[in-house]
Amino acid sequence: MTLWFVFALMTAAAVFAVLLPLGRGPRPQSDGSEAAVYKDQLAEIDRDVAASLIGPSEAEAARVEIGRRLLAAADHQRDPPMASNIFLRRSVAIVALVGLPIAAIALYLPLGSPRLGDFPLAERTRVPDATQPLDNLVAQVEAHLEKNPTDGRGWNVLAPVLARLGRYDDAVRAYHNSITYNGDSAARRADLGEALTGAAGGVVTAEAKAEFERAVALNADEVKARYFLGLAAEQDGDTTQAASMWRAMLATAPPDAPWRPLVQAALARIEGPGAPALPDATVAAAKDMNETDRNAMIHGMVDRLASRLKQNGDDVEGWLRLVRAYMVMGDRDKAKSALTDARQAVANDAERLRQLNEGLKNLGLDG
């Protein structure tokens, strides 16, 4: 509403500028004329003569010339006197009062976007916007680190996200920086090794192996590093070595360790009758690592989405994402309740309801 108020004020100012001179009565003519210029020129000759810049004879010649111009200018002064044309003035006033606002609005409406507010960057970054795609957030953090490359905490945050996005090379750089600015630690070395493995398409390279070995040297209980060292042995063809390493892990592991099933599966794979070490399987295994962190992150994201949708339920895509997320997490009850919530939220909007139902059909849920 303020915008239209500002527009109205501006239009009023413009109209006022046109009407102002029209309202004034006839004034004594105070404007310049040619004669005034020539009179000044005559005065100028006197000054030049006084300063002896020109001689008396030249001054005389100049005076004669300017005198002629003065006479000619005086002739022109006998122009018809100023009239005031009431009809014309009224028409101009009407054009200004009616035509100007109409023309301005008619031109502005098809071009402008009056419903769009301002988006200064400072405000947008201060209020983290849940609708922003992850890429934008990552770009922001990267831009921040470009300026402050020694911010170790920033690298710590950025590195796992890059790894998850599949940007392994950048993740490797980020982990390197994280180690440089945060100090060495077994977990960081193991993460770096994992990123290197990811960059090599799931193959534990010599470089990655060196990182895992360093991690185990720092902390003999570093689970991730130990798992990957086993994987390295498997990829080298030394399945017995791999099996013994993994068995040792399981032997010392607490019974409720979240990574237990993964290692058990890996063990079953290599001990299984004639099961070849499929590269695809190893890739999948690598991707499945780090369950705890990953689950925490996914839960966080899903909860954020859910609370946002609770506030603003118009976002059909958001609802579908939420339902899909619950299903992937195996939480069917929550998926069901989210579905009911979604139906309620968009019940008043036929178009959205249709979109929702189609999306649900695609998810394999009841339409």
Partner 1 sequence: MIAEAGHYALVLALGLALIQSTVPMLGARWHDAALMNVARSTALAQLLFALASFAALVTLHVTSDFSVVNVFENSHSLKPLIYKITGVWGNHEGSMLLWVSILALFGGLVAAFGNNLPLSLRAHVLAVQAWIASAFYLFILITSNPFLRIANPPIEGRDLNPVLQDIGLAVHPPMLYLGYVGFSISFSFAVAALIEGRIDAAWARWVRPWTLVAWIFLTLGIAMGSYWAYYELGWGGWWFWDPVENASLMPWLAGTALLHSAVVMEKRNALKVWTILLAILTFSLSLLGTFLVRSGVLTSVHAFATDPTRGVFILLILCTFIGGSLTLYAWRASALKQGGLFAPISREGALVLNNLFLTTACATVFIGTLYPLALEVLTGDKISVGAPFFNLTFAPLFVPLMIAVPFGPLLAWKRGDLLGAAQRLMAAGIAALIAFAVLWAWTRGGSALAPLAIGLAVFVIAGALCDLAERTGLFRAPVATAVRRARGLPRSTWGTAFAHAGVGVALIGIVCETTWNSEYIGSMKAGDVAKIAGYEVELDSLAQRQGPNFREMVAQFTVSLDGRRLSEMTPSKRNYPARGSSTTEAALLTRGVSQLYISLGDTADGTIAVRIYHKPLVLLIWFGPVLMAFGGMLSLSDRRLRVGAPKPARAPRGLQPAE
For partner 1, the binding residues in 167-226 under the rule CB under 8 A are: none
Query: Shortest distance, CB of residue 84 to partner 1, whole angstroms?
Result: 6
Residues with Cβ within 8 Å of residue 248, at least 6 apart in sequence:
none
- Which residue, 104 or 365, has its beta carbon nearer to partner 1? 104
Instruction: Considering only residues 61 through 90, tell me which ones interact with partner 1, judged by CB under 8 A.
Output: 61-62, 65-66, 69, 72-73, 76, 79-85, 88-89
Write out the two tokens for 279. Answer: 């590269």
Write out the two tokens for 329. Answer: 């997490």
Write out the two tokens for 250. Answer: 């399981």
Instruction: Considering only residues 7 through 26, tell me which ones interact with partner 1, judged by CB under 8 A.
Output: 7, 10-11, 13-14, 17-18, 20-22, 24, 26
Query: Shortest distance, CB of residue 7 to partner 1, whole angstroms?
Result: 5
- Which residue, 128 or 279, has its beta carbon nearer to partner 1? 128
Write out the two tokens for 174. Answer: 């980020």
- Which residue, 11 or 241, has its beta carbon nearer to partner 1? 11
Give the separation between CA 304 and CA 339, rounded to whole angstroms: 17
Q: Is 1 in the site for partner 1 (CB under 8 A)?
A: no
Instruction: Considering only residues 327 through 356, tell me which ones interact with partner 1, judged by CB under 8 A.
Output: none
Query: Shortest distance, CB of residue 90 to partner 1, whole angstroms?
Result: 11
Instruction: Considering only residues 106 through 165, tell me which ones interact with partner 1, judged by CB under 8 A.
Output: 107-108, 111-114, 116-122, 124, 132, 136, 139-140, 143, 146-147, 149
Residue range at the interface with partner 1 (CB under 8 A); choices 43-51, 188-196, 237-245, 323-331: 43-51
- The one-letter amino acid code at 326 reads Y
- The one-letter amino acid code at 149 reads P
Give the separation between CA 266 and CA 231, rounded to whole angstroms: 9
Give the separation between CA 172 and CA 215, rounded to whole angstroms: 15
Do the Cβ atoms of 273 and 98 come closer than 8 Å? Answer: no
- Which residue, 92 or 218, has its beta carbon nearer to partner 1? 92
Query: Shortest distance, CB of residue 119 to partner 1, whole angstroms?
Result: 4
φ/ψ (deg, to 5) at 141: -65, -40
Do the Cβ atoms of 125 and 58 come closer than 8 Å? Answer: no
Distance of CA 203 to the CA centre of its chain: 35
Number of residues forming the site for partner 1 (CB under 8 A)? 86
- The one-letter amino acid code at 290 reads N
- Which residue, 105 or 278, has its beta carbon nearer to partner 1? 105
DSSP three-state, residue 290: coil
CA dist 234 → 24, 213, 231, 244, 248 (Å): 98, 16, 5, 11, 15
Query: Shortest distance, CB of residue 109 to partner 1, whole angstroms?
Result: 10
- Which residue, 14 or 218, has its beta carbon nearer to partner 1? 14
- Which residue, 79 or 351, has its beta carbon nearer to partner 1? 79
